C-alpha cells in the first residue's frame, strides 16, 4: 500500500499523483517548496514553514491560490490520511502547466503537492561521533541571481556541491559565497562556538534562513548564550571550539572535522549537547496537532 498524496485539491494514491510534463516546475524548476517535520503527533513550527513558503512564492511572483490556514490544514490532513504521527513532510508549489516557453504567464494554475513520509538523512553514528565535511569549489548562489533565501525548486547549485562532497567521500559540503565567506552547507545551516559565543552566518551572506536555525538561535538565547549572526571565514571554523549543522531533516548534527582539520577535541561539544537536549524538548511541545 503506497502513500496518499495531496495533489491540487484531492488526496490520491501515489501511483495516481501525476503532473503534466509541461509543468514548469518539471521543465524549469519554477516553483518553491518546504520540508517540514512532525513529531509526537504534532507538526513542528508549521506556521513558520508555511510563512516561509508563501514568502518564497511572493519573491518569485507566484500567487498561491489558497490561504495559509488552508495550506496548514492540508499538511495535517496529509499526515492523517497516511496515519502518521511522526513524519517528514514536503510541500511543493510549482508554476503549473504551461508550454515549452519560459513565459510564466502561460501557466494559469499552480500545481500544489503535499507528501508525508519519512526521511533518514544521516546515520545515527554521525550524531554520536560527529561528521566530517569539506569545502567545495561550487559557490553559493549570488543573492541577485537565484536568491538562496528563496527555497526554490531549482536546487542545482546545492546538488552540484553535494556531488563534489560525494566524490570526496564527505557527508556534507561547506559552501562559501562569492566573497569567500562561509554561507551554509548543501541542505543545512552551520554554527560555530568560540570562547563561549555561538556564531552563525548572517542572512545577507547568501543562505536559506532555516526554521531549525532560528529555533536553535532562540533556544541558545533562552539558555543565556551569546549569539552572533555575523561574517566569518573557513579559518574561524578551523579554530572553533565546536561546529554543528542544523536543518529540518538533519535536526542538529555535530561536525568534528573540516577539510582534514580536527575541530576542538574531535568530539561533539557541550554547547551542541545542551542545544540538542533543548531541541528535543521543544519538539515535544504540542503545537499543530495531527490527530485530535
Question: Is residue 138 over pLDDT 70?
Answer: yes
How is the chain split into domains, by residue range?
A: 4-117, 124-282
Name the pLDDT band for 1 (thresholds 50, 70, 90): low
Name the pLDDT band for 119 (thresholds 50, 70, 90): confident
Q: Considering only CA atoms, which of 19, 22, 27, 31 is closest in space to residue 63?
A: 31
Report whether 251 contacts 240 (CB < 8 A): no
pTM score, two decimals? Answer: 0.96
Q: How far apart are CA 254 and CA 132, in angstroms?
A: 9
| pLDDT in the model for residue 25 | 98
Between residues 65 and 1, the one the model is more confident about = 65
Q: Considering only CA atoms, which of 215, 213, 211 is closest in space to residue 245?
A: 213
Alpha helices in 9-45 (DSSP H): 24-28
Name the pLDDT band for 277 (thresholds 50, 70, 90): very high
Average pLDDT over residues 80-104: 97
Q: Is the sign of the CA dihedral 76, 82, 83, 85 positive or negative?
A: negative
Q: DSSP letter for 104, please.
A: G
Could you report the per-residue pLDDT of 147-158, keeping only the tens digit for each?
999 999 999 999
Q: Are strands 172-176 and 251-258 parallel, antiparallel or unpaired?
A: unpaired
Question: Is residue 120 over pLDDT 90?
Answer: no
Active site residues: 151
Q: DSSP letter for 152, please.
A: B
Name the pLDDT band for 132 (thresholds 50, 70, 90): very high
Average pLDDT over residues 28-49: 97
Strands (E) located in the chain: 4-7, 10-13, 31-39, 42-43, 87-94, 111-117, 131-135, 172-176, 182-185, 189-194, 197-201, 226-230, 242-247, 251-258, 261-262, 288-289
| pLDDT in the model for residue 56 | 98
Average pLDDT over residues 137-165: 96
Could you report the per-residue pLDDT of 51-66, keeping only the tens digit for each?
999 999 999 999 999 9
Q: Are strands 251-258 and 261-262 parallel, antiparallel or unpaired?
A: antiparallel
Question: Is residue 118 over pLDDT 90?
Answer: no
Name the pLDDT band for 91 (thresholds 50, 70, 90): very high
| pLDDT in the model for residue 292 | 84
Question: Is residue 223 over pLDDT 70?
Answer: yes
Give me Rg for the CA atoms of the chain.
19
Average pLDDT over residues 141-170: 96
User: Is 132 in a helix, a strand, or coil?
Assistant: strand
Q: How far apart are CA 145 and CA 273, in angstroms?
A: 37
Torsion of CA 120, 124, 129, 134, to 10 degrees: -20
CATH of domain 124-282: 3.20.10.10
Could you report the per-residue pLDDT of 247-274, keeping only the tens digit for each?
999 999 999 999 999 999 999 999 999 9
CATH architecture observed for domain 4-117: 2-Layer Sandwich (3.30)
Amino acid at each position: 500500500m503506497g502513500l496518499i498524496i495531496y495533489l491540487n485539491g484531492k488526496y490520491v494514491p501515489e501511483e495516481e499523483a501525476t503532473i503534466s510534463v509541461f509543468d514548469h516546475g518539471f521543465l524549469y524548476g519554477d516553483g518553491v517548496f518546504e520540508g517540514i517535520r512532525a513529531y509526537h503527533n504534532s507538526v513542528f513550527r508549521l506556521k513558520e514553514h508555511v510563512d516561509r513558503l508563501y514568502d518564497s512564492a511572493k519573491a518569485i511572483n507566484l500567487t498561491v491560490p489558497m490561504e495559509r490556514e488552508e495550506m496548514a490544514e492540508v499538511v495535517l490532513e496529509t499526515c492523517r490520511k497516511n496515519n502518521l504521527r511522526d513524519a517528514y513532510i514536503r510541500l511543493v508549489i510549482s508554476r503549473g502547466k504551461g508550454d515549452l516557453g519560459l513565459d510564466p504567464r502561460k501557466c494559469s494554475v499552480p500545481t500544489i503537492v503535499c507528501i508525508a513520509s519519512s526521511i533518514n538523512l544521516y546515520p545515527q553514528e554521525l550524531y554520536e561521533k560527529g561528521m566530517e565535511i569539506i569545502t567545495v569549489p561550487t559557490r553559493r548562489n549570488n543573492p541577485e541571481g537565484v536568491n538562496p533565501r528563496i527555497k526554490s525548486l531549482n536546487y542545482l547549485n546545492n546538488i552540484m556541491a553535494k556531488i563534489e562532497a560525494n566524490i570526496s567521500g564527505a557527508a556534507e559540503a561547506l559552501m562559501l559565497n562569492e566573497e569567500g565567506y562561509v554561507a551554509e552547507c548543501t541542505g543545512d545551516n552551520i554554527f560555530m562556538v568560540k570562547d563561549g559565543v555561538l556564531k552563525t552566518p548572517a542572512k545577507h551572506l547568501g543562505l536559506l534562513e532555516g526554521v531549525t536555525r532560528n529555533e536553535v538561535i532562540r533556544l541558545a538565547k533562552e539558555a543565556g548564550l551569546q549569539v552572533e549572526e555575523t561574517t566569518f571565514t573557513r579559518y574561524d571554523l578551523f579554530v572553533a571550539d565546536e561546529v554543528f549543522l542544523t536543518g529540518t531533516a538533519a535536526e542538529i548534527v555535530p561536525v568534528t572535522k573540516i577539510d582534514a582539520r580536527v575541530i576542538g577535541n574531535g568530539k561533539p561539544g557541550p554547547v551542541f549537547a545542551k542545544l540538542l537536549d533543548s531541541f528535543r524538548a521543544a519538539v515535544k511541545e504540542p503545537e499543530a496537532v495531527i490527530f485530535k
